[in-house]
A = this chain, B = another copy of it.
Amino acid sequence: MLEELKNEVYQANMSLPKLGLVTFTWGNVSGIDREKGLFVIKPSGVAYEDLKPDDMVVVDLDGNVVEGDLNPSSDTPTHAYLYRHFKNIGGITHTHSPWGVSFAAAQMDIPAVSTTHADTFYGDIPCTPALSQEEIQSAYELNTGKVIVSEFEQRQIDPDATPAVLVSQHGPFTWGVNASKSVYNAKVLEVSAEISYHALQSTRSDIHVPQYLLDKHYYRKHGVNAYYGQKKSSFC
């Protein structure tokens, strides 16, 4: 079942090592079929060089395995929670990419300091508060989803416009209209973190881009007035 989606999710997972975003098995991508209410995700702890499209696991929105011989990613409850609450997203990527994790370890947002960031993310990439002891000890991966959604709600951040988060002391989750786009956003997060780190070390001051530059670059690539690239799309 869902052969096309499995292949798409497989390809998206395989692009993680090509983009330098994973060490060993530390990353996973999923993609959802919204009509069927099922998503496809990488199996847990399988090396990328051994991965095959048929290894992808089909899971329902409560995180129950519907098809597949292997255990799904241990982060499956986080993916499921995000799909349930961020209604427009079609794919999710989690990595331990080192620049992103460095900001998560520092418990800092990745500030929007250049157009490289603003082309993809409409503002700072938020770092969640740390999970409490209780949240970590019971239903940890579910609570990881909850702290993400709660942070976006509290800060009134639109998850479609800023499709990325850092889980405190853990690392990046990104999403997008499909699996492939969520990987794209994972790479932009990593490059943006690298740039922000060096710019912050150089200046040790607030170097946010102004709102109007954020608007210009974000809407150059997104929305009905986008004019970057070859086709207009509501979310490039």
Q: What is A's interface to B at a CB cutoff of 8 Å?
A: 23-26, 43-46, 70-71, 74, 96, 98-99, 101-108, 113-116, 119, 130-131, 133, 136-137, 140, 169-171, 184, 187-188, 191, 194-203, 207, 209-210, 212-213, 216, 220, 227-230, 236
Q: Is the CB of B106 within 8 A of A203?
A: yes
Partner of A202, one of B26, B102, B113, B228: B102
Partner of A195, one of B25, B98, B114, B115: B98
> Cα distance A108–B202 when bound, in Å?
9
Partner of A136, one of B24, B71, B213: B213
Q: Is the CB of A171 within 8 A of B71?
A: no
> Cα distance A194–B133 when bound, in Å?
27
Q: List 18 A-B contacts (CB under 8 A).
A: A23-B191, A24-B184, A24-B187, A26-B119, A45-B229, A45-B236, A99-B198, A102-B195, A102-B198, A102-B202, A105-B113, A106-B207, A108-B202, A114-B169, A116-B171, A137-B212, A140-B216, A169-B209
> Cα distance A44–B221 when bound, in Å?
11
Q: Is the CB of B26 within 8 A of A116?
A: yes
A39 to B: closest C-beta gap in Å: 19
Residues of the B chain whose Cβ atoms lie less than 8 Å from the Cβ of A171? 114-116
> Cα distance A101–B205 when bound, in Å?
17
Residues of the B chain whose Cβ atoms lie less than 8 Å from the Cβ of A23? 187-188, 191
> Cα distance A119–B24 when bound, in Å?
12
Residues of the B chain whose Cβ atoms lie less than 8 Å from the Cβ of A203? 106-108
Which of A119, A131, A171, A229 is most buried by chain B, counting CB atoms within 10 A of its CB? Answer: A229
Nearest CB in chain B to that of A117: its residue: B105
Partner of A216, one of B26, B113, B137, B216: B137
> Cα distance A216–B139 when bound, in Å?
11
Q: Is the CB of A212 within 8 A of B74?
A: no
Residues of the B chain whose Cβ atoms lie less than 8 Å from the Cβ of A46? 230
Partner of A116, one of B96, B195, B227, B236: B96
Which of A45, A108, A187, A199 is most buried by chain B, counting CB atoms within 10 A of its CB? Answer: A199
